Amino acid sequence: MSEPRNSSVSLPVVAICAWLIPGGGYFVIGQRARAIVAGAAIVALFLGGILVGGIRIMDPPGWGQYGYMAEMVQRFDRRRQQPEAAYTRVEPASKDEARHPDENDGDHVAGPALFLQPTTELGEKPWYVGQILCGPITLLASAISVNAAHPAAGATTETWPSSHSRSWEIGALYTSVAGMLNLLVIIDAAHRAGLHKQWKSEA
């Protein structure tokens, strides 16, 4: 087993670098060849999933079909002249509706659904938990996907429609597996950094 050459890097820093850049944890402890191989494999698998399923497989929790943040809206009961007890999840179909959904009908916007019911939003899209483990590359791809989902001016459908059936499933699977592999790399890089500190203390 090869020892890391860099002993001055703390375990949290190694783990953070490994999440920010696939293979980055190996790089900061001095194992550059391992960093290149691991990082290239993870990024290739992630990009391969996008090539198979399209950029719209990046579907972050809290955003709807048209790329706008879903909101919790409380309906107003006009007969009783009071708000209803329950909130309803709304997926806006336009930018204006995203800012003021049903404002003319007197509905009350409680806030983004992702922050009000995070467990429910994550439960509807569990594959994103695996995807986010790839780091900022997932956030960048998600931003591109959300922007591509916005309908063009005067249109009622997405600018870049999402794929369906097997192509979507395979793409989502590839990107999620890439994230899980990166998690293993993060753990291994931190473990190797810890072993080196132990070797140094025993020397």
pLDDT per residue over 154-169, tens digit each?
666 777 778 877 899 9
The whole-chain average pLDDT of the chain stands at 83
pLDDT given at position 76: 66
Q: H-helix or E-strand containing 110?
A: strand 108-112
pLDDT given at position 202: 46
Among 81-90, 145-154, 165-174, top mean pLDDT goes to 165-174
CB 73 within 8 A of CB 90: yes
Q: Which residues contact 93 (CB under 8 A, 6 or more apart)?
A: 66, 68, 151, 156
pLDDT per residue over 89-134, tens digit each?
888 887 777 666 555 556 677 788 888 889 999 999 999 999 999 9
pLDDT at residue 203 tops 50: no
Mean pLDDT of 136-149: 94
The token duo for 172 is 């989502």
Sheet order of strands, 82-90 included: 82-90, 71-77, 108-112
CA dihedral of 177, 12, 18, 121, whole degrees rounded to 10: 40
Query: Model-level pTM greater than 0.75?
Result: yes
Amino acid making up residue 149: A
